[in-house]
Amino acid sequence: MVASDRHELVTALARSMVEAAAPQELAFFGPVAAAFARDPDRVLVGRHRPDQVLGADLDTVVTLISPVALAVASSTYRHLLDRTGDALVRRGRSGLGSLMRRLSRGRGRTGDPDDADGGTSPAAVTFDEGQLAEVKEAATVQARALGLDEEQVDLLVAALMANLDRQERE
């Protein structure tokens, strides 16, 4: 998958997470996402410190969730792509075209390589409960490490899992 497709998928997933967890940040999301695409490390530098905030010189202090959502979405994307790659190796080339089309629509997830249709139907590419738990745990650890408080972590991870669940049903 090309970098622009990756950026679009990560941005769409992160935007949905921000919509659910911190809709007030949507006005800042575009510029933050563009900066993240150019240099994720620069956007995240210092995020492990809970005191890294927007408006530190103002009376109101706001911790931006958007950079963390982008980082979590990017990690989730890489995890899903790794799992999808594993499934492709087991399935062979027959399912590649369909799976890539589903990934580009944001539906690609690993599934049972023994599906009768070779994994070509949208429902064939799914996560099992263990894989969902892995994604949830990884997202939780990453969001905490990037300085979100527990309430923000819970909101962000719930939004991620709801998004994955919604895509699962599409």
Tens digit of each residue's pLDDT (9 = 90 or more) over 5-59: 888 989 999 999 999 999 999 998 999 999 999 999 988 876 654 444 444 444 4
Q: What's the pLDDT at 127?
A: 72
Model pTM score: 0.71
Local structure of 62: helix, strand or coil: strand
Which DSSP helix (H) or strand (E) runs through 114?
none
3-state helix, strand, coil in the chain (%, to 5): 70, 0, 30
CA–CA separation, 134 and 151 (whole Å):
20
